[in-house]
Amino acid sequence: EMFLNVLSVFSVHPSGDFDTVQSPSTPIKELDDRACRSGGSKSRGRGRKNNPSPPPDSDLERVFVWDLDETIIVFHSLLTGSYAQKYGKDPPMAVTLGLRMEEMIFNLADTHLFFNDLEECDQVHIDDVSSDDNGQDLSTYSFATDGFHAAATSANLCLATGVRGGVDWMRKLAFRYRRVKELYSTYKNNVGGLLGPAKRDAWLQLRAEVEALTDSWLTHALKSLSIISSRSNCVNVLVTTTQLIPALAKVLLYSLGSVFPIENIYSATKIGKESCFERIMQRFGRKVVYVVIGDGVEEEQAAKKHNMPFWRISSHSDLLALHQALEFEYL
């Protein structure tokens, strides 16, 4: 029965589009033979002279493109009270938990990830300004006194006008993104070490309360994410409408750092999800199969436009069905 459920999900969830990739009864192995026998070299990012993100593996077969809010984590719907309403939970408690989490996210972003400096200088991807980095040693560098923030605010250098600062200022911007990347790599499995003892305890407590209120939503999502990241031929990519720096703070605080390498995280704030999907396709090539997992219209339409199967997450049962499909290797 479980097995049949998994099969029926294929036809129901991707609004019929799954057939373009495989019919529900076709084992994924057959799909592998069709789509993944690629001896040729993959497209290697954007050919930047100083792009430290590794090129995709040549044995890569499937790229799972995830949305973050209301797909992997319950966050926005806590703040609005809609989660409490939908699942019969206590609305004031849900909102309070959401607010506490929001405070923790922005606190981490401001304190450790330069969000005060970078909020107006948002990037789509961690390496987008890496070509302006001269690679100098930052171990004794003083971010607090390098004059970056004053220059940024006085000239509104990063606003939508597209005006950029001088070479010196761009280098300081690149230094910040490099340090963020280092911090992420260091603490991706141990955000408590970054927060320090007192905040770590508050974080663990809050995480436990959110998991209890949301009936272990995150735990269910992590099961699927972990299966994918344990496979040598699959990869998890995150595309979120959250700005990049707060998105990284969310990923760290929700313990998602082990399933999303920082170079697989894209912020759609400035360019929209469809453009992010195009960048991802450029990076990983056309020979891999893309599967989009999300709750919103934007990612569904972007998936449809690129003929990518879409797996809708609108309840716990969708997460459980996804986990089953991955466990039985139908996905």
Residues carrying an active site annotation: 67, 69
Cα–Cα distance for residue pair 127/109, rounded to 1 Å = 18
Which has the closest alpha carbon to 206: 96, 297, 45? Answer: 96
Phi, then psi, of 273 in degrees rounded to 5: -70, -35
Query: Is the CB of residue 124 less than 8 Å from the CB of residue 163?
Result: no
- Whole-angstrom CA distances from 49 to 67, 94, 197 are 30, 47, 41
Please check whether residue 127 is in contact with residue 263, taking contact to mean a CB–CB distance below 8 angstroms.
yes
69 assigned binding-site residue: yes
**Is 110 annotated as ligand-binding?**
no
Report whether 137 belongs to an annotated binding site.
no
- The residue behind tokens 């909020």 is 119
Q: Which residues contact 173 (CB under 8 A, 6 or more apart)?
A: 118, 121, 129, 132, 148, 165
Q: Annotated binding site: which residue ranges?
A: 67, 69, 295
Please report, in range form, the residues annotated as the binding site for Mg(2+).
67, 69, 295
